[in-house]
Amino acid sequence: MSRQYFGTDGIRGTVGTAPITPDFMLRLGHAVGRVLRRVHDRPTVLIGKDTRLSGYMIESSLEAGFASAGVDVLLTGPLPTPGVAYLTRALRLDLGVVISASHNPFDDNGIKFFSAQGAKLPDQWELDVEAALDEPPQWVHAAALGKAKRLDDASGRYIEFCKSTVPHSLSFRGMKIVVDAAHGAAYHVALDVFHELGATVVTIGCSPDGVNINDGFGATAPQALVRAVAEHGADYGVALDGDADRLQLVDAAGRLYNGDELLFLLAADRLTQGRPVPGVVGTLMTNMAVELALRERGVPLVRAKVGDRYVLEELVARDWQLGGEGSGHLLALDRHTTGDGIVSALQVLNAVQRSGHSIAQWLEGVSLFPQTLLNVRLPRLDGWQEHAGLARERVAVERELGDEGRVLIRASGTEPVLRVMVEARDPQQARQSAERLAATLLA
């Protein structure tokens, strides 16, 4: 059964366009509340948000919807997505709600949910909510209406949690770190985490005004961080996205490290300490160089569908701990139940401090393969898997690449576009191969 409103990471869209409207959000809060009431007599939910101006509108609408279904609400104000996941679990609440469109521009917004255990909820729960949305509302009696209140010191609790994920002996004293929060949810906590661990902190992208989230700063625009690290002579730079669940790192030389490289570093650090790493989960887009480097160390890489929720599902199914995406979503399930940009940065910098090796030294010998990605627009996508010419050309390209590259062809979930990606040690071979595959589709 397909979902009407929920995508791979909750519900997301342009503010003022269905379903990101106040009337829908009221209905959504009521429907979610009714689903909760099936298993909890008096549920309590936690609502956090990023810094988008539209967050006020959505927050009040959801609050009214929950109250109408007899659900109590705790409000955190701006707080990173992983902070909401942590507090939901730590406070033994029934649901965590995040108002954010993550790395999208400010005129988008969205909703995502976390279970009482601080994890993403299964598809069936989302289907239950969508079914409840189609039913007539069932308002509770006035005496049973939910109440709402502000949660005191939500930021402070989350800061302490982040610090608790690294050894008490860890100190960044003598280290200068630039923190870029993308004018998003971590603008008021990321600085404190690194400062309280002893670092001299320089901030950029930490002055939100409601409309500048992700605008030229953060993990999706890391060149601002590269410039700031050079300007301030910093040792490292940490870039988060709007809801602070993804990470990019920059070193003193101005080199930018993406999620694939950092995922390898986390695995290599654990192996160096003698800790078991039975396997690592990446995605269909994870760079092949990382897969080969892990294989040399006896660690298999399993590829999930693109999206951190699918990485998480694969980790849980295999009882593994480490996974992530090149975009910077990193999961260390022995540290947190979900991806957390701040916690991931702490794990990487802890490895640097403990070992005395820089990130570049950790990654010696791991040179990312060039990737060529072409978007091929077609009249329709029906039957593309049976395209005989594409199948023949793909076999030929894969034979030529051998163990030195790979082909990935996947359909867009939102438009009639096939994404053709070829990865190879030789960038010219990658581009030429991708163009050959695309040409067969357009012939």
Which of 250, 267, 242 has the alpha carbon at shortest distance from 341? 242
Torsion of CA 13, 19, 25, 28, to 10 degrees: -110
Closest CA to 120 of 298, 314, 295: 314
The contacts of residue 338 (CB under 8 Å, 6+ apart) are 81, 82, 85, 114, 118, 119, 120, 245, 308, 312, 331
Q: Which of 12, 10, 24, 3 is nearest to 96 (CA)?
A: 10
Q: Which among 263, 349, 250 is positioned nearest to 308, based on CA atoms?
A: 263
Pairing of strands 405-411, 417-424: antiparallel
Please check whether residue 57 is in contact with residue 215, taking contact to mean a CB–CB distance below 8 angstroms: no
Query: Do 81 and 100 form a contact (C-beta atoms < 8 A)?
Result: yes
The three-state DSSP-derived secondary structure of 351-369 is HHHHHCCCHHHHCCCCCCC
For the chain, the distance separating the N- and C-terminal CA atoms, rounded to the nearest angstrom, is 35
Compute φ and ψ for 96, nearest 5 degrees.
Answer: -110, 135
Vertex 30: Cα angle to 25 and 35 (nearest 5): 125
- Report the interhelical angle of 154-164 vs 81-90 (nearest 10°): 90
Q: Among this protein's residues, is 100 annotated catalytic?
A: no
Determine the residue type at 94.
Answer: D
Q: Is 317 exposed, middle or buried (0-12, 13-18, 19+ CB in 10 A)?
A: exposed
Q: Which amino acid is at 132?
A: A
Closest C-alpha among 362, 431, 370 to residue 397: 431
Q: Which of 102, 115, 327, 433 is catalytic?
A: 102
Rounded to 10°, the helix 154-164/341-355 angle is 30
Residue 376, beta-bridge partner list: 418
The residues carrying an active-site annotation are 102
